[in-house]
Amino acid sequence: MSEKPTGSAVVVGGARGIGLAAVGLATSHVAAMTVLDLPETAPQVTEAFPGARYLQADVLDRASLEKGFALAAESGPVTAVFVPAGITLPTPLLEVTQEDAQRCLMINIMGSINAIQAAAPHLAAGASIVLCASVAAYTGGGYVGGPVYGASKAGVIGLTKGAARELADRQIRVNCIAPGCTSTSMIGDDPEVIATLSERALVGRLAAPEEIAQAALYLWSSASSFMTGAVLDVNGGIRL
């Protein structure tokens, strides 16, 4: 893609992993970048995208997200939003506590809802929102997440479609990516786990975070201008 960088982007959950990879790749796609995430500081964000703004924010704290999107809008109307913020939950269904289940569902689903609501007042016509589901949405977990994680990601797919319908009259597109197993702290570095997960993908390995982030950037770009309410599977053929 060779578009001239324009517009202001926000990555919610961009301090590491797939989100940070998107921040780095975005330098040639957007003019301004704001990253919102949990750590107090995140120098890696400005290393990845010189001039990026960073603000501590929790997706369960709407006010912190609103502050973050207002900061982003100081660089101009927001044209691109990516929400990779999320947590996994490997616990089997009959063993999971109410507290852990609620936290996973809240961060992964309510966090995405909060991000869309906080973004909405600042979005330019033509903006693109990309949420983050997972292959686990189709399988009810079974990789590094359990059934509750799978349910949370299936919820993200439903949210994507409803948000796409409701924001279409503002010329805002909403899509999600559904990554397969990706080499981030969510998977960890246990060689046995990595080998087992790698074998389950046709490509025989985990994805690099950049390989997933590229899909988010595609959904930001005009190359995907006819896509909204869609789920983009980026999983190395893991379910085939």
Ligand X SMILES: NC(=O)c1ccc[n+]([C@@H]2O[C@H](COP(=O)([O-])OP(=O)(O)OC[C@H]3O[C@@H](n4cnc5c(N)ncnc54)[C@H](O)[C@@H]3O)[C@@H](O)[C@H]2O)c1
Show the tokens assigned to 21.
């990879």
For ligand X (CB under 6 A), the number of binding residues is 27
Q: Tell me whether residue 40 or residue 169 sits nearer to ligand X (CB atom).
A: 40
Binding of ligand X by 37 (CB under 6 A): yes
Distance CA 239, CA 52 (A): 37
Stretch that binds ligand X, among 22-30, 52-60, 92-100, 214-222 (CB under 6 A): 52-60
Q: Tell me whether residue 103 or residue 124 sits nearer to ligand X (CB atom).
A: 103
Applying CB under 6 A, among 11, 45, 59, 172 the residue interacting with ligand X is 59
Binding of ligand X by 219 (CB under 6 A): no
In the complex, the smallest distance separating the C-beta of residue 69 from ligand X, rounded to whole angstroms, is 13
- Strands in 67-106 per DSSP E: 78-83
* Catalytic-residue membership of 54: no
CB 72, CB 120: distance < 8 Å:
no
Q: Which of 8, 1, 135, 10 is nearest to 65 (CA)?
A: 10
By CB under 6 A, what part of segment 134-153 binds ligand X? 134
In the complex, the smallest distance separating the C-beta of residue 16 from ligand X, rounded to whole angstroms, is 4
Applying CB under 6 A, among 24, 68, 86, 147 the residue interacting with ligand X is 86
Q: Tell me whether residue 63 or residue 168 sits nearer to ligand X (CB atom).
A: 63
- Strands in the chain per DSSP E: 8-12, 32-37, 53-56, 78-83, 123-132, 173-179, 231-234
Task: Tell me the one-letter amino acid at 160.
Answer: T
Binding of ligand X by 155 (CB under 6 A): no
Distance CA 109, CA 226 (A): 25
Q: Which residue in 54, 138, 143, 149 is the catalytic one?
A: 149
Distance CA 116, CA 55 (A): 17
Distance CA 82, CA 13 (A): 8
Distance CA 229, CA 240 (A): 23
By CB under 6 A, what part of segment 170-189 binds ligand X? 179, 181-182, 184-187
Q: Using CB under 6 A as the criterion, which residues of the chain lie in contact with ligand X when the complex forms?
A: 13, 15-19, 37-38, 58-60, 84-88, 107, 111, 132, 134, 179, 181-182, 184-187
Question: Which amino acids are annotated catalytic?
Answer: 149
